[in-house]
Structure 1
Amino acid sequence: MRVRTLMLAAAGVALIAPTTLPGAAPPPGHGRAGHGGPSAGNLPRAGSLPHAGSIPHARETRTPRNVGAAELLAAVRDCAPVSRDRFRSDHGEPADIEVCDRQGAVFWKADLDIDCDGRPGRHCNERTDPLFCDTTAFQQSDGRQLSAERLPYVVVPGPSHRWNHREHDVRRGTVAAVIHGDRVRYAVVGDIGPDDIIGEASYALARNLGIRPDPRGGGAASGVTYILFKGSGASPIENPGAAAAQGERLARELVARS
């Protein structure tokens, strides 16, 4: 046991300890009789050692709990429309989707179509996506195109009479919380789509949400909520960790205000 080992080690030190020279100051912890600590022959017994529970512990710091999907959905339950007209989820579908305002954020509830545009990769290229485009509206900090395979990003509609995202402080790299089922994932605004269609996100974001990311037949037909935090911005845009850290904080603030 560790206590016995300590006692034997202490006794061994006492046996080999040098004799104190005349006139020399006593070693620390070995005061004179009646004036100091215990001698080697008076080591505390095992039973007299301080109980482990009496040793003070450092105060634990708690990491804030992640915001849940139900909390965020409750925060955007009511819609105050800011779009002047409604959007379609796809060509030929009815125009029934509004962009809503909610205390420092805009949001909409729609489907999720797969955006594979940007830097070509294994899953996003001309062979896997018949509509593939090798550019995105916004670029990385080094000037390269965004990678839909690697970066979770959302697509906003192009500015029009319906809604202009720039008028609501939504821009390149704006942080978004995207909800599907019981999952909340954070992303950035990375691309711009048609001005009459809404509900599109990158291959990487769909995968993170548990949605089939295949650009040919994947995506989700409905049940996806997009919350964009006005005035926010992940830096650099290509760093998902920066978006997640900022998004979690902003989501917590939104829930607290609701």
Structure 2
Amino acid sequence: MRVRVPTLTLAAVGAALIAPATLPGPAAALPPEARATTHGKGATPGTGPRKNVAPRASAHAGAAHEHPAATPARSAPPAPARHENAPAGARGEGAVTAEDLLARVGACDQISKGLYRTDEDSPETVPVCGTRDAVFWKADLDIDCDGRPSVHCNARTDPLYSPETAFHQSDGRPLSAEELPYIVVPAAGPRWDPGAHGVRGGSVAAVVYRDRVQYAVVGDTGPGDLIGEASYATAKGLGISPGPTDGGAASGVTYIVFKDSRAEPIEDHAATVATGERLARQFVTGTDG
């Protein structure tokens, strides 16, 4: 089931946790406790993001939901428009193909001191790997529908909905999970400190699923022992069912975050794509070392 621990009040986290990501300049670091207490298992619905497990049950109403792997097949959203310079057969954003990115992350130089779970009741199997200029991991994709309310992401559609995200856009408002492709990274802990490896709020990521590439930003943080979550918009762009209670992918998703990168401003997806494509091209050609 999906559970979470109680959230900190805005006054408690305030500028130390969220405001830095709204200011111009260097990317905001992930504070050790940012969202670690709001994105987890077993708390009151509506206090933060979630990680989905099988079987999935609503902590709010107690009604069980089947895990995505067990649900009937759904019609996938239309494929994102292909970049005008993309090679034939490429799907997703930009000219760098999923095949090229996956070939680059075939071997893992583990940088995390331990392994992560993809869900609360799953074994610890996922390492965080790294090169000189990127970190990556391979996991599932659970749906984060938090942030500003929208048609598909709100308290009615998601029993665990929260109007907050760890990082805010340039006007001070939370991000929009339905509009903005973003990913969730674990809070800093004994296993791994994202900030120490250049992964912060607004960092640019390439998310790969099957033959699709979706560029996204780091927009939220989660429990220090779980990994594998992204926004509604990220899932939709990858052709994954984005429903907050019955969507997601059970496995096969690769997250590549480019160290010390930054989308300016964080909510500008066009800037994210431009930066992501440039860094992805460097990554697949091996120019990052």
TM-score (norm 2): 0.67
- What percentage of residue pairs aligned between the two structures are identical? 59
Map 1:162-181 to 2 at 5 A. Answer: 162-181=191-210
**In the alignment, is the contact (CA less than 8 A) between 1:76 and 1:102 conserved in 2?**
no
- Residue 218 of structure 1: SS of its match in structure 2? coil
CA contact (8 A) 1:173 1:237 kept: yes
1:63-78 to structure 2, matched below 5 A, reads: 63=85, 66-78=95-107
* Alignment partner of 1:140 out of 169, 181, 203: 169
SS at match of 2:278: helix
Mapping of residues 84-123 of structure 1, within 5 Å: 84-123=113-152
> 2:276 and 2:108 mapped to 1: Cα distance?
21
SS at match of 2:100: helix
Shift of 1:127: 1.0
Amino acid at match of 1:71: D
Post-superposition Cα deviations, 1:144-187, rounded to whole Å, max 9, x if no partner, equal 00000000000000110011100001111000000000001100
Q: Which residue of 1 aligns with 2:25?
A: none
Paired residues, number: 197
Residue 195 in 1 paired to residue 228 in 2? no
Alignment CA distance shift 1:64-1:182 (3 Å): closer
Tell me the distance in 2 between the aligned counterparts of 1:147 and 1:136: 9
Q: 1:64 to 1:93 in 2, by over 3 A?
A: closer
Structure 1 contact 179–185 (Cα < 8 Å) conserved: yes
**What SS class does the counterpart of residue 146 from structure 1 fall into?**
coil
4+ runs deviating over 3 angstroms: 62-65
> CA offsets, 1:208-253, max 9 Å, x none?
0000000101000000000000010000100111100100010000
Unaligned runs of 5+ in 2: 1-83, 88-94
Quote the Cα distance in structure 2 between the aligned partners of 1:64 and 1:194.
Answer: 37
Matches within 5 A, 1:236-247: 236-247=265-276
What is the aligned partner in structure 1 of residue 26 from structure 2?
Answer: none
Match for 2:107: what amino acid? D
Cα displacement (A) at 1:103: 3.0
What is the one-letter code of the residue matched to 2:196?
E
Instruction: State how far apart, in whole Å, the 2-side matches of 1:92 and 1:164 are.
Output: 23
- Aligned residue for 1:242, secondary structure, equals helix
SS in 2 for 1:112: strand
Distance in 2, Cα, partners of 1:130 & 1:137 = 19
Provide structure 1 residue ranges, at least 5 long, that are not aligned to the other structure: 1-61
- Give the RMSD, CA atoms, in angstroms: 1.2
> What one-letter code is carried by the residue in structure 1 that aligns with 2:201?
R
**Alpha-carbon deviations, 1:129-148, whole Å to 9, x = none?**
11111100000000000000
Match of 2:282 among 237, 253, 257: 253
Partner of 1:231: 260
What's the counterpart of residue 5 of structure 1? none
Shift of 1:64: 7.3
What SS class does the counterpart of residue 271 from structure 2 fall into?
Answer: helix
Q: Which has the higher contact order (CA 8 A, sep 6+)?
A: 2
Find the aligned partners of 1:104 and 1:250 in 2 and give their Cα distance.
9
Quote the Cα distance in structure 2 between the aligned partners of 1:103 and 1:165. Answer: 14
Find the aligned partners of 1:256 and 1:122 in 2 and give their Cα distance. Answer: 40
Residues of 1 paired with 2:180 and 2:157: CA distance? 18
